[in-house]
Structures are given as structure tokens and as C-alpha cells.
Structure 1
């Protein structure tokens, strides 16, 4: 059996995490890129079967339509954006 498939089958899938900026315009402080926060997922980013390393990754869709990831701690409201919950958001 392919080792990478075996490793993937042992790790549970990431879970979506609620975030106050979900569906809002955000800025990645590491790169300066802006876009809409689409999701925050709790993912195991370890390359080892023996040791897990869980992080919260933010998925941001840029103006061009492509999504990029960054640490959830690296996002902030974009200039002029209210940091409150999005309208219609289930997470308040």
C-alpha cells in the first residue's frame, strides 16, 4: 500500500472552526494580500505518522478568485471593515 495513502487514512479530517471574520474582507498580515475569508479549518499539517501538529488555517479568496491559506492568527479586518460578525452569520 502507498505510504502516503496509509498516513492520510490514519488522520481524522480537519474540522471547520467558527471565526468572527468569516465571509468578511480580510488582510493577511504576513503577505499583505486581501480577500474574503471563506473558511477556517483545524488541520493536521504534520508530515509524520508518529507526531501530529494541528493548526488553524484560514482560507482566503483573493480578488482574482484564487484561494490561499495562512495561519488564522495572521488575518485581520481589511481597511475600513467592521470587525463584527458578518450579516447572516451563524457565528456571533
Structure 2
């Protein structure tokens, strides 16, 4: 078992640019997700289920970069999970 500091150290070992000098940002886990830093400059509140959450003002640009036309459902045969693990457990 490792703690969060393990991952912070690992991430910092591969960090190449400071936040100020970077034009793009990404997630250390999924390197394919690289976004324009400016898309995260402002946040807005948006409804989510029975509450409101903060989201980037340029959420449309971010979602299109990550998923393409995210408002269109993929064909039924392509609607499969993309995780290597179960994030839930079945309750009877």
C-alpha cells in the first residue's frame, strides 16, 4: 500500500515545465488527455443531479478534445466500459 506522497513524488520526477511557462496541461494518469491551460482559467457553477458543481467555463472545448462529439451517443455495440477495474459493486 502506498500513500498519495508516492504518486506526487513520481509525478514531480517527470514534470518538465512550471505551471507559469506551460501552454498545455494534462493528467499524469492518462497522458492522452492534454488540454489548453487557458480552458481552465475560469469556472462556472453547473447543475448536476440535485446540486451544483464547479466546472471549467470552457467545458465544451475540454469535452470535445477528450471525447470528440460527446453529445452524440456511440453506436450500441461501442457502448462499453473503458476501465481496467470495476468502480462499483453489485448490490442484491
Normalised TM-score (structure 1)? 0.25
Using the size of structure 2 for normalisation, the TM-score is 0.25
Larger helix share, 1 or 2: 2
Structure of greater relative contact order (alpha carbons < 8 Å, 6+ residues apart): 1
Q: Which has the larger radius of gyration?
A: 2
